[in-house]
Chain A
């Protein structure tokens, strides 16, 4: 790890001022990703601003029935929150299926959104990686790419977004609240993460002087019947090969409302809008689920090692919707 200056921000204003006026600076919250990346030499900030003392730790119910979650709420606290567990079970389960209890105790909501890819070549500073060193190439292409993305990839980068929580947030249309000295912005999660294109080093629309302060969950009644299914190589403590966040309401055998997002397959948390479009207003049958999955994955591109994810994603989407049919619509 390189040497750096450490600043503990006593309040939001100091934090924002420091980040605006310092070169090579990074916010530090839970540290579960940043400290690891610094130790690997992937991140080399000159200054680290510790924001853990900022008062961004509330979970508040909003008048419209939504929830506002402070950026520094720990993953485990959010997952254990009674309101989240009953109104947004997909979010609680997505968090609980990520990492380990120790890491969830440390990691924050804001940090989770900014988690960086686990691509083996991004993590290895000897390899070529356009995300780490723009213009250096991509050794994952033609290399070990079993975990790589099949949706949203480019010839410059095929790295998967690793977060589970963000997949559930994508399904829920969460809004990311960010602040800088210039004020506050509300960014819908669909617009927050970027696909790599020819600038894979730019992963989000967050500006260099901005801090995530909160995440707002709109009221999503259908989320009461929602589920997060994560498919991975170990029974626990492993990143997703494929994950599906889904919510389903069926009325008279017809899909009245449906939301689907995918993890492990995309270069960003992947809202399956095409699948939703195919399903909405149509029959809630296994065949329809399969057609919807096909439609979403029509654009997927697999290589020799990760093409299985396309079939796996199709099957996992169908299995998750099938489960929601049974659970949410008891015969």
Chain B
């Protein structure tokens, strides 16, 4: 019996509902100490004095580390074509190595104490004096003259086809629109925390990383030890959403403090410290201009963005990613502008680029639909494309948007809608509905695994991947069970430990498919081995073959974990990957339908209904995939309705570093979310799987904004859609 597709329960449900699952701040060690960071309160300058006497005098304080006494640390490597590790360093700053301050919140000292209470008390007593240098922290003020994004291997500065500006000027109908989105923070419920233990030159480190392999490589480099000297343990990650992908100061400083004190150190961040030292999502200013014939056929699509990064590095936000692939416009211009400010840099956050880019694009399509008097779904269908619009040649590996729209419209009851804005009322509520397209590219990474089949029938899959709630162990057990024809319960999965074969990053929605590719290969090898054995020993079942051969187990090893083996793996992987990327556009897609109710007096907006239909290729586990997509939608609701990191433009200081003042959705904000799938495999992905981690958040904010317009007649182009914008 096949298990793929079945809505099986999570394999880690038991430990997560009894409190037994141990997260990174929850491992005890003899002599464990607690560390707390002290943050700079200027955005740029130099430390002229650090007063640590009072802090040192707090009973229980073991050490106060500053740039004056901290052990040496190698700088973060510079970016290079094949050097992914720059993505991996949240900033380029070498913490506690110089007197320089690069952002408001940068750690300038670390207090290590016997108890967390003493460490916190002492950290509050460290006083710094500075000379302040001129800094730029005001994003809005930096918009004019924002330079284009420099080209690099991963993110081209933009793309174009035809002459979009000329086509716009000549179009019978043209829209010129400006949208903005505020900064966001991930706010995974688990606070970042690192427990670091040095034994000579061996480092054991518990950290909720999204990428055990790159994390290990990076730490080895910074601390000047061999990669194999670093053991990373991350069996449970308490939510991440991109915020635990790069390495941030807390991790580095925990390891540095452990080295300096020769004691095990736990550095558990406060919520405020997460805001001050872990990057979030950049704000954006976006221009979307659409030119169309009167029948709705797009002749021009312009999407440009201004985002920010840190002067000290950070990740680029690919805002126009979806705009290059969704609509059959003959003229397209996509361009990014990036300003560098003296702020904590931008980092990956669930669907970097697509989440905020689809807000602007999919709002603009809705605006055009109203302008033309065409149903917004019909307008999209009229611009449906068979080839990649930006390139005019590449084919989509799997694209079923018209089917998704048909299914979604039916489930939602779209045809019953009166398209007139402000036309539907239920008591004090103005009711509106909106729709938007979801889109997220599919990627892959090379993965090493071992699969072992024992004579007792049990199967062990080993791979250093991460489990932050996606259900990776459950899904891979299903894939392994089906590939070997064994029961689901016979498969055990080991993950979350760098001593296991090299896993992929839990990022870019690529984990499930990437591992699946290697698992299938391993299982095929195992079956061949067994077949060969059976020819000499006989036996029908796996167990029989192994028993009769008197072999306790057979194992298939995919990839090599030596340094050279890993490089060889990448060299084998990349050409195939690049070839495939040149041939196909691979992506997950979906449609988001939303109903809102807006209080006619106060503008309070409640999302009352949601239907999402998704094409994520093969659905490995219907229950877990639906949960992930719902999770993306809930995060999108937060973006749409309330979330905003408040960076004071006068100082660069984040003023709402707290879950009380940064409003993520609560239970009462979230209606029942109806999620369904097409379930049709993608022919060019392993097992037909396309990732589900990020597509759910795309299109959500636009669907809400479109529904709010339908309900009220007010178009909100600046997120979040708070009630003051509807009065």
Contacts and interface: CB of A to CB of B under 8 A. Distances in A.
Direct chain A–B contact by Cβ atoms under 8 Å: yes
Interface stretch (A9-17, A210-218, A229-237): A229-237
A311 interface: yes
Contacts of A238: 663
Interface string B580-614: 00000000000000000000011110100000000
B124 A312 contact: no
B-side interface size class? 20 to 34
Given A121-B655, A143-B650, A315-B601, A233 B124 contact: no
Interface stretch (B303-311, B390-398, B664-672): B664-672
Contact of B642 (A3, A231, A234, A318): A234
Nearest to A320: B601
Contact of B602 (A120, A124, A139, A319): A319
A3 B121 contact: yes
Interface in B34-58: 41, 58
A41 interface: yes
B724 interface: yes
A41 B722 CA distance: 31
A1 interface: yes
B653 interface: yes
A2 interface: yes
A203 to B, nearest CB: 20
Interface in B622-673: 641-642, 646, 648, 650, 653, 655-656, 658, 660-661, 663, 665-669
A118 B723 contact: no
A2 B121 contact: yes
A120 B653 CA distance: 11
- Which of A233, A311, A316 has the largest count of B CB atoms less than 10 A from its CB? A233
B727 interface: yes
B723 A241 contact: yes
A28 to B, nearest CB: 17
Contacts of B428: 319
Contacts of A124: 653, 655
Contacts of B492: none
Nearest to B41: A126
20 contacts: A1-B121, A2-B121, A3-B58, A39-B120, A41-B124, A139-B650, A144-B655, A144-B656, A231-B602, A234-B666, A234-B668, A234-B669, A235-B669, A236-B668, A241-B724, A308-B724, A312-B602, A312-B723, A315-B602, A316-B601
Contacts of B650: 139, 142-143
Given A120-B655, A143-B650, 17 more contacts: A118-B660, A124-B653, A126-B41, A144-B646, A146-B724, A233-B723, A234-B666, A234-B668, A235-B666, A235-B669, A236-B669, A241-B723, A308-B727, A312-B603, A315-B727, A316-B602, A318-B601
Contacts of A123: 658, 661
Contacts of A315: 601-602, 727
B430 to A, nearest CB: 14
Interface string B74-104: 0000000000000000000000000000000
Nearest to A143: B648
B121 to A, nearest CB: 6
Interface in A142-197: 142-144, 146
Given A3-B121, A144-B648, A315-B727, A235 B601 contact: no
Contacts, number: 82
A63 to B, nearest CB: 41
A121 B661 CA distance: 12
B567 interface: no
Given A1-B121, A143-B655, A233 B661 contact: no
Interface in A234-268: 234-238, 241-242
A12 B627 CA distance: 53
Nearest to B603: A312
Interface of B: 41, 58, 117, 120-121, 124, 428, 601-604, 606, 641-642, 646, 648, 650, 653, 655-656, 658, 660-661, 663, 665-669, 722-724, 727
Contact of A233 (B58, B642, B655, B667): B642
Interface in A301-323: 308, 311-312, 315-316, 318-319
Task: Give the residue among A121, A144, A242 with the most B Cβ atoms within 10 A.
Answer: A144
A155 B723 CA distance: 27
Interface residues of A, number: 34
Contacts of A237: 666, 668
A312 B655 contact: no
A139 B41 CA distance: 15
Task: Please classify the interface of chain B as helix (H, G, I), strand (E, B), loop, or mixed, using the class held by over half of its residues.
Answer: loop
A293 to B, nearest CB: 11
Contacts of B120: 1, 39
B606 to A, nearest CB: 6
Contact of B666 (A139, A236, A319): A236
Most buried by B among A234, A308, A311: A234
Max chain B C-beta neighbours (<10 A), residue from A39, A120, A315: A120
Nearest to A237: B666
A137 to B, nearest CB: 12
Contacts of A233: 641-642, 663, 722-723
A235 B648 CA distance: 26
Contacts of A3: 58, 121
A256 B495 CA distance: 72
B54 to A, nearest CB: 11
A1 B656 CA distance: 20
A235 B655 contact: no
Contact of A319 (B41, B124, B601, B655): B601
Nearest to B725: A308
Contacts of B58: 3
Nearest to B606: A235
A246 to B, nearest CB: 14
A234 B663 contact: yes
Nearest to A317: B601
Contacts of B667: 236
A120 B661 contact: yes
A10 B656 CA distance: 39
Give the 6 A-B residue pairs with the shortest CB-CB distance, closest first: A235-B668, A236-B668, A308-B724, A319-B601, A120-B655, A315-B601
Given A315-B602, A318-B601, A319-B602, A120 B646 contact: yes
A312 B601 CA distance: 8
A315 B726 CA distance: 13
A126 B601 contact: no
Contacts of A142: 650
Contacts of B660: 118
Contacts of B121: 1-3
Nearest to B120: A1
B661 A118 contact: yes
Nearest to A319: B601
A235 B117 CA distance: 35
A279 B259 CA distance: 72
Nearest to A239: B660
B604 A231 contact: yes
Contacts of A311: 727
Nearest to A235: B668
B666 A312 contact: no
A58 to B, nearest CB: 32
Contacts of A143: 648, 650, 655
Nearest to A231: B602
A142 B649 CA distance: 10
B286 to A, nearest CB: 23
Interface string A111-135: 0000000101101101100000000
A144 B602 CA distance: 22
Given A233-B722, A234-B669, A120 B656 contact: yes
A98 B601 CA distance: 21
A236 B669 CA distance: 8
A286 B273 CA distance: 50
Given A1-B117, A144-B648, A144-B655, A231 B723 contact: yes
Contacts of B648: 139, 143-144
Contacts of B669: 234-236
